[in-house]
Structure 1
Amino acid sequence: MRYNLRGEEESRGKTEGVRHKVELKVLSFLRYFVPAVGPLFVYLLTEGAFVVFGSAIVHPELTHEEFIQQKMNIYMIFGVIATFLMLRAYSRKCGSTFFEDASLYRKDLSLIKSAGCLLFGLGAALGLSAFISLLPKVGPVAAYDESIQNLYESWSVYLGVLFNTFFTPLVEEVVFRGYMLNRLLPHWGEKASLFAVSFCFAFLHGTALWMLYAFLMGWLIGKVSIQEDNIFYAVLMHIGFNLLSSMLWFIYLFRPGTQEALADNKPMLLFLGILGASVALLIAKAYKMERQSLFITRFFRGEI
């Protein structure tokens, strides 16, 4: 019997090559990804700790449902503020600043671009929400509707609107598109970093349809954050996405029956979906043209 020593050596070499690549990926994960999600765990644990403290220590007389509706948003806001203070302290300890690590700057902001980001988020949310409402209420769509309904029925309206419209976009952009994305970009590159951050962002949103929604939203917001080197516009886009639910919250509160009437009016839902999608697409096209124009200008100036 003859042995193909060359073939065995090639096979062994391929196996070792694959093993080496796997080891490198594992090391990269441990070295870069694990520290990158540190701020995320700080946020989740801090917010959770405040909610538990409020429920078990401060308001033990309230039932679980009563605490959620009356008090939980207050303690979640406290958790967000505490998260900011902890991240600020950590940045200062590392010789940096909170705003540098989060890429949150107020300098050289464009008012038109800021308004465009806000309107893009609102238009995209309107388009996606309207089209989802046209789908049969089964499977992921039913779970999506149930989560929305629970939000409207469980939380205090005013505190819920304040938390969802302002505090949630701000803290999530600081954590995901600020600290986390900035830590991954130098080592993983743009696509891998965007995927990792968007996946983590989507994973926190529960149901399948919400996760898909959040992943697409996170990718778009992350892309803009990288291009602008500033998460201020990302915060405005996120506010725009969340603003729709806050507006509907007030409408449903002060105009009872509107939610049911809108759900049954398919032509109106279709019109709103087309309107929202058109606004978002027009703003996206204008933004792309502005970026191309900026690139050409910088090229002829010799800056690229």
Structure 2
Amino acid sequence: MVLVHVVSIIIFTVVESIIGIELEFLMVATYHVLSIYIVVRTLRRNDVSMLQVTGTFSLRNEPWLLLFGFVIVMKLASYFSQSIGVQIASVFNSGIYERLYADYLDGAVVVNINLIMMRVLSFTLGPIFEELLFRGYLLNKWSAKYGVGKAIVLSSMTFSVFHFNSSLYLTYFLVGVFFSLVYVKTKKLIVPIILHAVSNLISTVTIFTAKQNFSSAAELQHSINIESIIYIILLPIVCFMLYQYYRGIKKVSPYDANRQLEA
């Protein structure tokens, strides 16, 4: 995957420099399509049935209201966790709030076709690729080697590192755990794909609609302090919800469960 990403960056950077047009959307789309192909091909080369990985595509008999409620709580935790990151950074950089306020004054989102298409990718190809890789492939592979519990932790850690955001590392890890638990419980990869897509769609709507008005760096700092307190309250709630969900599932990998159903 890393090689595909690097090659995509090199090729499209060269093309962009030649034609003078931003091609970030095409680069990311190409990367996702190639990565999906590589994962599927790897599974087939190892004689792994895709149907045993994905399970059925039926959307009935799933507690969607509960699952969407989980997604909303996780998104809130993700949003507020960034404030904790800022506060930690302020210990080493006392002027961070002034710099953030300056960025806020100059930080209007420039809406163009590239940004729009990048956001569309985030709730279409993005969830398909990431769920296929981190849940469909890695979770099942590591479950066979280490057991389901450790596989959930390892695949979620990898999922978090993959997103390259240190301030959101814990939140991405918890989100990965949530998607993993849903996959293990339902045995259907389509369910975490839909939840992942909805989560990213919420982020997209927030980017284009959320507006905050700060008149000073001190006001921005006050807002960050409040958001940090909310995050501290939300974090144990999220962990408790995940623990309760984990307790209620059978510790069998989706691949093994689906294979047994076919036997």
TM-score bracket, shorter-length normalisation: 0.5 to 0.7
Q: Please give the alpha-carbon distance, in whole angstroms, between the structure 1 residues aligned to 2:6 and 2:63.
A: 35
Q: Given the alignment of the two structures, is residue 207 of structure 1 paired with residue 207 of structure 2, yes or no? A: no
Residue 133 of structure 2: aligned partner: 175
Amino acid at match of 1:59: E
Q: Please give the alpha-carbon distance, in whole angstroms, between the structure 1 residues aligned to 2:29 and 2:55.
A: 20
Q: Given the alignment of the two structures, is residue 190 of structure 1 paired with residue 148 of structure 2, yes or no? A: yes
Residue 3 of structure 2: aligned partner: 45
Residue 41 of structure 2: aligned partner: 89
2:193 to 230, 235, 239: 235
User: C-alpha displacement at 1:266, in angstroms?
Assistant: 4.1
* TM-score, with structure 2 as normaliser: 0.67
Q: Given the alignment of the two structures, is residue 130 of structure 1 paired with residue 87 of structure 2, yes or no? A: no
Alpha-carbon distance change, 184 to 154 in structure 1, aligned in 2, over 3 angstroms: farther
2:56 to 94, 105, 127: 105
Q: Please give the alpha-carbon distance, in whole angstroms, between the structure 1 residues aligned to 2:48 and 2:203.
A: 36
Amino acid at match of 1:53: I
Q: Please give the alpha-carbon distance, in whole angstroms, between the structure 1 residues aligned to 2:152 and 2:33.
A: 26
* Gaps in structure 1 of 5+ consecutive residues: 1-40, 293-304
Two-structure CA RMSD over aligned residues (Å): 4.3
- Considering only CA atoms, is the larger Rg found in Structure 1 or Structure 2? 1
Alpha-carbon distance change, 159 to 119 in structure 1, aligned in 2, over 3 angstroms: farther
1:72 to 24, 31, 41: 24
Residue correspondence of structure 1 range 277-288 to structure 2 within 5 A? 288=245
Amino acid at match of 1:237: L
Q: Given the alignment of the two structures, is residue 117 of structure 1 paired with residue 67 of structure 2, yes or no? A: yes
Alpha-carbon distance change, 136 to 87 in structure 1, aligned in 2, over 3 angstroms: closer
Q: SS at the partner of 2:123?
A: helix
Contact residue 74 and residue 175 of structure 2 kept, 8 A: no
Q: Please give the alpha-carbon distance, in whole angstroms, between the structure 2 residues aligned to 1:140 and 1:237.
A: 34
Amino acid at match of 1:106: F
Q: Please give the alpha-carbon distance, in whole angstroms, between the structure 2 residues aligned to 1:259 and 1:209.
A: 23
Q: Please give the alpha-carbon distance, in whole angstroms, between the structure 2 residues aligned to 1:86 and 1:173.
A: 14
User: C-alpha displacement at 1:263, in angstroms?
Assistant: 5.7
Contact residue 81 and residue 167 of structure 2 kept, 8 A: no
Alpha-carbon distance change, 192 to 136 in structure 1, aligned in 2, over 3 angstroms: closer
Residue 5 of structure 1: aligned partner: none
Alpha-carbon distance change, 111 to 263 in structure 1, aligned in 2, over 3 angstroms: farther
User: C-alpha displacement at 1:104, in angstroms?
Assistant: 4.8
Amino acid at match of 2:89: G
Residue 254 of structure 2: aligned partner: none
Figure out how many residues of one structure are paired with residues of the other and give that number.
230
* Gaps in structure 2 of 5+ consecutive residues: 250-263
User: C-alpha displacement at 1:265, in angstroms?
Assistant: 8.3
Amino acid at match of 1:175: L
Contact residue 117 and residue 236 of structure 1 kept, 8 A: no
Contact residue 50 and residue 78 of structure 1 kept, 8 A: yes
Q: Given the alignment of the two structures, is residue 159 of structure 1 paired with residue 109 of structure 2, yes or no? A: no
* TM-score, with structure 1 as normaliser: 0.59
Higher relative CO (Cα under 8 Å, sequence separation at least 6) belongs to 2
Q: Which moved more, 1:195-204 or 1:171-180?
A: 195-204
User: C-alpha displacement at 1:237, in angstroms?
Assistant: 2.7
Q: Please give the alpha-carbon distance, in whole angstroms, between the structure 2 residues aligned to 1:266 and 1:98.
A: 47
Amino acid at match of 2:79: S
Alpha-carbon distance change, 140 to 83 in structure 1, aligned in 2, over 3 angstroms: farther
User: C-alpha displacement at 1:159, in angstroms?
Assistant: 1.4
What percentage of aligned pairs have identical amino acids?
14
1:247 to 192, 205, 216: 205
User: C-alpha displacement at 1:47, in angstroms?
Assistant: 3.4
